[in-house]
A and B are shown apart, each in its own frame.
Chain A
């Protein structure tokens, strides 16, 4: 079913039920994935999915919503009826409407259309990758978590006011998570993830090398003494942390009282002036980019922190109305519309004279803890309080030498952290969740086993 067909089908059904105002988001996807276990195919998966989220407005202009996978005529009528019933309970204190930007032009990236490689080819590629990773070091005994997948999907947004937009794209992902063991030592595990528009875009060799290098590097580990340390966050770890506390920029969270910011926080200095953060969903490097959000608002680049000052919030249609501004393209369709960032870009601003540029993770000879990857975010972050206590993979550097750290956690407060950045390295690195340089923090608590 294409975008016009499904829109016509919904429009006809709505007419039958005398529902005048509606909008919907739909997704159609075909996904294929493989996993292997020492050369043998383990689980091979394929799925065809269709999901329709439908909103209707009743005579009092209150909204109701339903989600369904049944796109038959009967299914669509049932969905409209259920949404209409739900609209009786629509939020009277926060009137939702169509996005005023739902008909504005969108930027759809021109990407070569990829074709499915098929399960057999995926399997062949993953088997080879697994074998090469196991062969790369005698201590690597298995690759317990691995997968190669390709996905082809179409997203649609339309409303009864004539907005209709869609895009289709493909995406592929390879992950290799190796487990290394040496006698009389605890097993160690690390890995690598690579994304592409298609499998042919994925640099498989670099994924293997990265997974091998990271896993082997952690073999010679030792416990770390519980104390406060100078910290260097890898680009990936810093982005993980900023994403975990993105309620700072989120207008929905502010309205709900679960953000550390308030409506009047725009313009406040919340970090050192050397920090800039953007949300840039349309960035060329963002494989998952989408040209519009769940309400049909075009995606755009938005400055969140500029020279340390909070510059913008992320908005849906209804939060923008409350804040007397325009939606920013970060809405997820729902009866209570969610708001979330797309793809963060962290950079050093030009007000960086106070940074300690001698701190360079490759050359600094003093003692510091390098945090490569933060784990268990869902358990260890209290976003509404600003605190975190997270296990991590990382190293203790001393006199230019590094030792892998046995299980340890880093704890702190996001407000303290942003104001105690002492260097933002110049080189920005691409990760799967955004772009960031290495970021140094004056002092954070580390709990170790020693």
Chain B
């Protein structure tokens, strides 16, 4: 074991930790690990809630912790701890070594020390100082809830703001040594409208990454109008009649259908589990030729963008599907090791207490040549899904999405609003039915929960037409 002159040392953010990190990594390699990775995090978060015309909650939180991952062959052991001392980190390494039952201190791995620090945080050191103060946030949230008060049918008005600031140090036995600072801000507006027995909800979420000033310039009036109109349009809506029908999905958050129905099945974790029908479909047609789909982490300011992923790799723009042909899977380090698909800068985790996994970033269907009207005009009897709620995908690829704001399409025209619709299907069957893509691609922020926790993502698409899908209703 390596002896050290800094036994009492601990990780200090904003300072050079090279010697300590190298000693900890060397310790793991010397005990027989093939690969050692440290992910160390310092977080400072804050959230504010406005209800009606009052601030009802302000919740700051902060913390530090480390996630230590060790690979031996294709197995991995992961330990998380709040103890950032050298002793604490080495104890976690020992625990991971013991978990993997590594008894022989032999391996083919050589640790040549950490590379030159890749400091992605340089231009971001002032971000935490530049974000709006709680006072500023409170004032703007109250303006937004006031803007929702348009008539007495609006019975609940809420505005919420959340700011997550995260400083990370990533070091691993392949020499990776990087630091970064991430800043995510989101704001959500919700209303409930009520009139006698009729009730409806309206909600929208907005978000950005790496733009401290973004909340200050957020157009709360426009957002409030959108949410109000949505709830009013749906207030007296009838329940949709269930059945198979063509649908047009709106742009922006309509992209959740691709995220849930197909995107998850293109993550290498799904190949590892044997739960994707696409594992043997590389370079084969899996979707209509109208569909080109992309996952990337590089769009400026987008909620799913990253300077580096949580394994220290710069994100790439991955064309997942090109003209209906499957071209690439979303992969992380474990995915590359176990499935052979090259890493794409998609190793992501909620925080230090999760091991990174292959996860989507900004994921969208690329724009096509049609207008929204072209799509609607092509349907004689169907459904227009203007706003989507949440969704999920099951273990065998079946998915479902709630439609928050929907309208019937009759003879190529939008008619009455309908509520209670759910879109149900399987990716393998639905992807070939996306026959028309609009020219109005837009992205929307969201949170995706999966194996490595909840991560910030962007979903998106232009308006798209699905020739036939099961619509659940009454």
Contact = CB atoms under 8 A, between A and B. Distances in A.
Given A47-B79, A69-B65, A91-B56, A144 B275 contact: yes
Nearest to A45: B78
A179 B421 contact: no
Given A41-B75, A50-B82, A69-B63, A407 B424 contact: yes
A166 B250 CA distance: 51
Nearest to B44: A82
B242 A445 contact: yes
A411 interface: yes
A380 B422 contact: yes
A49 B80 contact: yes
B474 interface: yes
Interface in A16-40: 37, 40
Interface string B416-442: 000111101110000000000000000
A177 B395 CA distance: 9
B400 A376 contact: yes
B473 interface: yes
A71 B63 CA distance: 9
B392 A375 contact: yes
Interface residues of A, number: 73
Contacts of B80: 45-49
Contact of A68 (B63, B199, B401, B472): B63
Contacts of B390: 376, 378-379
Nearest to B351: A69
B243 interface: yes
A37 to B, nearest CB: 7
Contacts of A89: 48, 55, 58, 134, 138
A188 interface: yes
B98 interface: yes
Contacts of B470: 407, 447-449
B59 interface: yes
Contacts of B75: 40-42, 44
A82 B46 CA distance: 10
B79 A45 contact: yes
A66 B400 contact: no
Contacts of A79: 62
A391 B398 contact: yes
Nearest to A53: B61
B381 interface: no
A68 B473 CA distance: 44
B471 interface: yes
B60 A445 contact: no
Nearest to B61: A67
Nearest to B95: A46
Contacts of A141: 274
B396 A86 contact: no
Nearest to B100: A44
Contact of B76 (A43, A47, A120, A188): A43
Contacts of A384: 156, 192, 199, 201
A187 interface: yes
B101 to A, nearest CB: 6
Q: Which range holds the interface residue count of chain B?
A: 35 or more
Nearest to B199: A385
Interface string A47-69: 11110000000000000111111
A379 B272 contact: no
Contacts of A119: 77, 98-99
Contacts of B274: 141-142, 144, 179
A144 B395 contact: yes
Contacts of A40: 74-75
Contacts of B218: none
A341 B434 CA distance: 43
Given A37-B272, A44-B99, A70-B82, A256 B51 contact: yes
Nearest to B98: A119
Nearest to B243: A226
Contacts of B96: 44, 46
A258 interface: yes
Contact of B83 (A48, A92, A382, A411): A48
A389 B472 contact: yes
Nearest to B134: A89
A186 B56 contact: no
B62 A82 contact: yes
Contacts of A43: 76-78, 355
B62 A258 contact: no
Looking at B83, B101, B239, B402, the one whose CB has the most chain A CB atoms below 10 A away is B402
A384 B78 CA distance: 40
Contact of B64 (A69, A91, A144, A382): A69
Nearest to B63: A69
B43 to A, nearest CB: 9
Contacts of A92: 54
B59 A447 contact: no
Given A45-B78, A46-B79, A389 B134 contact: no
A44 B402 contact: no
Nearest to B75: A41
A379 B402 contact: yes
A189 B394 CA distance: 9
A47 B81 contact: yes
A213 to B, nearest CB: 17
Interface in A333-351: 334-336
B400 A334 contact: no
Contact of A335 (B57, B62, B243, B392): B57
Nearest to B155: A257
Interface in B340-368: 353, 355
A44 B49 CA distance: 38
A389 B156 CA distance: 23
Contact of A409 (B57, B81, B155, B400): B400
Given A69-B82, A385-B200, A447 B420 contact: no
10 contacts: A46-B78, A46-B99, A47-B81, A78-B62, A177-B395, A186-B426, A258-B192, A376-B391, A407-B426, A447-B470
Interface of B: 48-49, 51, 54-65, 74-83, 92, 95-96, 98-101, 134, 138, 155-156, 192, 199-201, 239, 242-244, 272-275, 353, 355, 389-392, 394-398, 400-402, 419-422, 424-426, 470-474
Given A91-B54, A187-B396, 10 more contacts: A37-B273, A41-B100, A49-B82, A85-B60, A93-B54, A93-B56, A120-B99, A385-B200, A447-B422, A447-B473
